[in-house]
Amino acid sequence: MDKESYENDLKGFSFTFLELPKFNKNVDELTHIVEKWMYFLSMQKKTSEADLRKIIGHDEIIERAYEELNRFSWNEEEFLTYEQALKYEWDYAASMAQKYDEGRQEAAIKLRRLCFYKESA
């Protein structure tokens, strides 16, 4: 913020002050991202799965926010199951990346050998 004019000098950055008790739109009336966030903040406990798909649309950030909020309602068993599945995904991705790197190294060695044999022949 500019110290003399008190204007917001940050491009792409804005402040929106919300009065959630006054927000009374339903899912079909949400037209822009600020309204979606307002709905998320005020109605997250009342949102159905069908409405959730409408709200999220293609917005990955709102989807992640709903997922994070949903985790708070899990019991210990559900949370541990989720953690195990997440760990499995990460381990699998890491092992695939390692195998990919090993394959590239092996291919480079074979290519060098092939070039060496062609040059010496």
What is this structure's pTM?
0.49
Give the pLDDT mean for 33-53. Answer: 82
The predicted pLDDT at position 43 comes to: 80
**pLDDT over 90 percentage in the chain:** 28
The predicted pLDDT at position 23 comes to: 85
- Is residue 9's pLDDT more than 80? no
Distances (CA, A) of 6 to 2, 75, 101: 5, 48, 53
Tokens 């804005």 identify what position?
Answer: 14
Question: CA-to-CA distance for 44 and 52, rounded, in angstroms?
Answer: 9
What is the overall mean pLDDT for the chain? 85
Query: 106 vs 66, which has greater pLDDT?
Result: 106
Question: CA-to-CA distance for 80 and 68, rounded, in angstroms?
Answer: 15
